[in-house]
Structure 1
Amino acid sequence: MAQSDSPAEVFKRGDSFEMLAACQNALHSIKQPDGPLAHQRWSTGEVWVNYKDQLIAHHNQPSVRAEAEALFRQGQTFVDMLNWKIFLQANKKFDEYERLLNAVVRQNEQDQRSKQNKNKKAPQAPRITIKYVAINRLNISQSELVKKLQRYVVAPQLLRTYGFPVESIKFRGKVTIYKKLPCLSYEASTNTDDNEDPIELERQFVPDEDNMKKQCVRCERTFKVTQSGFYVTLENCTFHWGKLFTLRNTVQYTCCAGSEESVGCTTNSVHVWNGVVSGINGPYNNFVRTTSGPQSAEAKVYVLDCEMSYTASGLAATKVTVIDFDGQLVYEHFVRPIADVGDYNTRFSGVRARDVYRRNKNVKTLRQVQRDLLKIIDANTILIGHGLENDLRVLRILHKTVVDTSIVFPHYNGFPHRHSLKYLAKTYLNRYIQLRGRNHDSLEDTRICLELMLWKVGIDMKYLEKVPRPFYARHTNSDDNEDPIRLERQFVPNKNVMEKQCVRCESTFSVTSAGVYVTREKCTFHWGKLLKVPTSYNNYKMQYACCEGSKESVGCTTNSVHVWTGAVPGINGPYADFIHTRQQSDEPKVYALDCEMSFTGRGMAVTKVTVIGFDGQLVYEHFVRPIAEIVDYNTRFSGVSERDVCKFYNKDVKTLGEVQRDLLQIIDANTILIGHGLENDLRVLRLVHKTVVDTSIVFPHTNGFPFRNSLKHLTKTYLNRDIQLDGQSHDSLEDTRACLALMLFKVTTDMQRS
């Protein structure tokens, strides 16, 4: 690009408006002789990112302006795309640049039409290559990134559940898609129509090729289309394109501020649907499969996103964008659908009718795009995307190595609920995308997906030395999150193993299966959690909550022996001392249960049991005397002291066997037990019960299972209540009532939404 080129001419050659704004700001703010130098640096395609406060300082404080200009001359810029736009809007100057943009676009379209009329091929100016710096923040290579991303690859056995195209188990050589679970993933299936096992559903599936009835995804009316993609029902569709939201206790649409019962504000010539229905879809025979590359070839990482339009056959890809691991554009083309387009969905896709016309040199057929993608992507390539099952479905590609940001960053309601990419970008990257009045940009979306995964990998590298693999992750070996059923089949119990790891100081010690200590040595530890404490702007230090000691400091608390929880990673058991709840009555009941625990030589043991009814009233509460010797009462958290479980001081204390008999009279197999981390309570009670509701699963962690939110965090977040305050021990009655209140909140919220 010549230095004499104006920003308008730069934009006409295909550069983005964000780059145009940055160039204009650099040219106007830095005077001669520095202006040409800044223009030259920008023309090389380099982009630097800085913070909002530097932008404000540049415009509001003349004393800082010279320093900011000096930084720019050194290769940095104080202009950020979003902050620049906010600044223009705040100063009422954005309209001026908007008019310039529209004028440039119109002039560009006129130039293209005049060149087409003259039948002259216009020389294509090379696009400026933007140096994408997100990957450089981690300072890792593509091969290292592949290893880091393996933990987030969706396991093959879960691809079907998440709606990805998979090989049919009934129709050989064909593909089926299981779509739209009507209830939450952790909810038990009660009948064949409500969240049934997708494999069992497919075995019973009988395709109905004569069924032409579809439901419009906009107005929910029923219409008919043929299997070949022709409309039988031709009628106008009136709908609201915006979402419902609540403003000052009033529910209204974002598009026109109309009420929930108002008539739609937008009309389309036909009804539309997304191409899949609830349940099993298919079988399809028009899918292509990614193949394995050479054994010596390294696995690669690509990010994929499609813009889609509505046809009579459902959603169809009209634009495909692929970028590589460093954010560089690898492939981008418009796609001409096979079926007639009923709505280009330009408001969201940004695709117009002229983009997919035959005379557009950049448009291709779906078959051509498939051939191009198979040259780039092989079976080992890690594909990153958001709602990637939809992209693969409209591309008619079968690929198994996928990382989906909507799964990596799960919704607090659990699957099938999913966060939008716009929400994730704002929450984790503090960036605004898909702003109102702007179309979706597939290049922008792919880069946001990449940055989200780079952020995720960076967090894991920085804070977590050994993070347990999420439940959806691909199983790569038998030692790392293997299928538990397969592990148990291969499990051989070893009763002679006495080595355990202390849960406080991580030292190794020995204890017999009867709970007798072989290794007796003092344990020095921090009982508080590591916290991030700010020290200055954008800086912080790690210190313990108990003594404000650093991460490397010596523990502030001492115990006479090391302790463990009673369970180790992998298969534990087999146990012969568990009892099972029995079927007693047909009428199910609801109870909330919580246990306080202390440390023994055999691990954690129950020392207090509390059960409340559905109305919050206390039903059962007793202290429990463990069989093994208690080595730490854990009073700081359990609230249990030696006097509570000593029969000499407390006449009401019971043994574990007595407590089990009492609970079996209250709880039967149909009883719904509510709790937080309920698997730990049932393990120490030696009780087998299958009908459970766990608040740590109902309100999942943003990192997904096995990460879990604490009960204290959930109560503060959803109920705005403080429990387990500093200086106070846990109260099992308070905890059970908090669990019950959380589930009542959840049920009430679901009822209001439905």
Structure 2
Amino acid sequence: MSGISLNLTINPSGNDKSGNVKSNRNEKHERFLKKKQYLMRKGLLKDKQNKRKNRRRSKKQNHTQINGEEQSKAGAIFPKFNTTVPHTSTSFVSTQTFCQKSSTSVSSTACTSQGKPTKKMVPPTSGPLKYVAMDCEMVGTGPKGSIGELGRCSIVSYNGDVIYDKFVQPTKPVTDYRTRWSGIRRQDLRYATPFHQAQKEIIKIITGKVVVGHAIHNDYKALRYFHPACQTRDTTKIPLLNQKAGFPEHEPASLKRLTKALFNKDIQTGRRGHSSVEDAKATMELYKVVEVEWERKLASEAIS
């Protein structure tokens, strides 16, 4: 029995596997560091961190502190309307007046927030590209031509260049061409553009633009469309124009009389009827006479 010897290793921690545990932890840590370095070289780690930061920021922005408690607050969404103030040396802001959404089948972009009328100031953009003048000629359908329908539409730019000029085939048979006023004859509508096609083309052109016209509500009615009031300039409703022409301020004057008084120019003469191109150009020139003063007045009304 004296030849037997015992080799005992005493582990003070009481765990004979502590060496293996420590080595495993070190290996895991090294693998973690290598993976982290690899992700940083690839740029993936920064992307993940940025995404987390952006998520945290968005959460903070979507909450406001009310009475010491965080509550989410929905922001009202306003559609953008870009209008211009062309060729003016005076810097001022164009206006958005009260607008209501159309209930017709083809509606315009509404100047409203969630169906409620709003006043919104729109910063001017450079150039006259957002201004057009439009004039329409109507023909008669139904009994004795009593129903007016679109027969021709012309749109010109701020500088008077023709953007659109087409004869339009009404949805119903024409019973009165009203040639004395419209200038439209039977042969003009033989190969005319169908109404619904013309309607889409016209609306595409004027959407988002300031439309100038003379008694333009009649043109919108013929188009079966209503443009936002804040993007409409009706030369029959500008008292300054009548004042410059020497007419009573609140009495609508005809396009022919205004053009003669201000430019000494005769339009709508003869028996061949009106020209919608000529009328659209005359309307734009009338608007330019009072453009600066009128836009400033609209802007001041919106601010007040």
TM-score between the two structures when normalised by the length of structure 1? 0.22
How far does the alpha carbon of each residue in 1:276-307 deviate from its partner, in whole angstroms, 9 at most, with x for none?
xxxxxxxxxxxxxxxxxxxxxxxxxxxxxxxx
Q: What corresponds to 1:696 in structure 2?
A: 236
After the TM superposition, which residues 636-715 of structure 1 pair with which residues of structure 2 at under 5 Å, given as runs?
Answer: 636-646=180-190, 650=191, 653-668=192-207, 670-690=208-228, 691-698=231-238, 699-700=241-242, 702=247, 705=250, 707-715=251-259
| Runs of 4+ with >4 A deviation | 700-705, 748-751
Q: What corresponds to 1:190 in structure 2?
A: 95
How far does the alpha carbon of each residue in 1:653-689 deviate from its partner, in whole angstroms, 9 at most, with x for none?
1112111211232122x31001111000001001121
Q: Return the alpha-carbon distance in structure 2 between the equivalents of residues 605 and 189 of structure 1.
A: 33
Give the superposed CA RMSD.
3.2
Q: Return the alpha-carbon distance in structure 2 between the equivalents of residues 742 and 189 of structure 1.
A: 19
Q: Return the alpha-carbon distance in structure 2 between the equivalents of residues 598 and 575 of structure 1.
A: 25
Q: What corresponds to 1:130 in structure 2?
A: none
Amino acid at match of 1:680: N
Amino acid at match of 1:634: R
Partner of 2:282, secondary structure, is: helix
Aligned-pair CA distance for 1:190: 3.5
Q: Return the alpha-carbon distance in structure 2 between the equivalents of residues 667 and 714 of structure 1.
A: 25
Q: What corresponds to 2:107 in structure 1?
A: 579
How many residue pairs get aligned? The number is: 176
Whose RCO is larger (CA < 8 A, sep 6+)? 2
Q: Return the alpha-carbon distance in structure 1 between the equivalents of residues 254 and 284 of structure 2.
A: 15
How far does the alpha carbon of each residue in 1:618-654 deviate from its partner, in whole angstroms, 9 at most, with x for none?
10111111112222100011110111112xxx2xx11
For the Cα contact (< 8 Å) 2:140–2:148, is it kept in 1? yes
Fraction of identical pairs, as percent? 29
For the Cα contact (< 8 Å) 2:104–2:225, is it kept in 1? no
Aligned-pair CA distance for 1:746: 2.1
Q: Return the alpha-carbon distance in structure 1 between the equivalents of residues 170 and 294 of structure 2.
A: 41
After the TM superposition, which residues 132-171 of structure 1 pair with which residues of structure 2 at under 5 Å, given as runs?
Answer: none
How far does the alpha carbon of each residue in 1:142-162 deviate from its partner, in whole angstroms, 9 at most, with x for none?
xxxxxxxxxxxxxxxxxxxxx
Structure having the larger proportion of residues in helix: 2
Q: Return the alpha-carbon distance in structure 2 between the equivalents of residues 733 and 633 of structure 1.
A: 18
1:626 to 167, 170, 185: 170
Aligned-pair CA distance for 1:579: 3.3
Aligned-pair CA distance for 1:749: 7.7
Amino acid at match of 2:288: L
Q: What corresponds to 1:594 in structure 2?
A: 135
How far does the alpha carbon of each residue in 1:676-732 deviate from its partner, in whole angstroms, 9 at most, with x for none?
110000010011211111111123485565x41000000000111111113341011
Q: What corresponds to 1:132 in structure 2?
A: none
Distance 1:704 1:603, change over 3 A: farther
Distance 1:629 1:581, change over 3 A: farther
Partner of 2:288, secondary structure, is: helix
Q: What corresponds to 1:741 in structure 2?
A: 285
Structure label with greater radius of gyration:
2
Distance 1:582 1:713, change over 3 A: same
Distance 1:635 1:627, change over 3 A: same
Q: Return the alpha-carbon distance in structure 2 between the equivalents of residues 720 and 643 of structure 1.
A: 34
For the Cα contact (< 8 Å) 2:104–2:224, is it kept in 1? no
Q: Return the alpha-carbon distance in structure 2 between the equivalents of residues 732 and 598 of structure 1.
A: 13
Q: Return the alpha-carbon distance in structure 2 between the equivalents of residues 695 and 595 of structure 1.
A: 15
For the Cα contact (< 8 Å) 1:594–1:735, is it kept in 2? yes
Q: What corresponds to 1:403 in structure 2?
A: none
Partner of 2:160, secondary structure, is: coil
For the Cα contact (< 8 Å) 2:242–2:249, is it kept in 1? yes
2:267 equivalent to 1:717:
no
Q: What corresponds to 1:569 in structure 2?
A: none
Amino acid at match of 1:190: T
Q: What corresponds to 1:184 in structure 2?
A: none
How far does the alpha carbon of each residue in 1:16-75 deviate from its partner, in whole angstroms, 9 at most, with x for none?
xxxxxxxxxxxxxxxxxxxxxxxxxxxxxxxxxxxxxxxxxxxxxxxxxxxxxxxxxxxx
Amino acid at match of 2:184: V
Q: Return the alpha-carbon distance in structure 2 between the equivalents of residues 682 and 750 of structure 1.
A: 22
Structure 1 gap segments, 5+ residues each: 1-187, 198-573
How far does the alpha carbon of each residue in 1:531-555 deviate from its partner, in whole angstroms, 9 at most, with x for none?
xxxxxxxxxxxxxxxxxxxxxxxxx
Distance 1:748 1:582, change over 3 A: closer
Q: Return the alpha-carbon distance in structure 1 between the equivalents of residues 294 and 219 of structure 2.
A: 27
For the Cα contact (< 8 Å) 1:581–1:688, is it kept in 2? no
Q: Return the alpha-carbon distance in structure 2 between the equivalents of residues 639 and 667 of structure 1.
A: 24
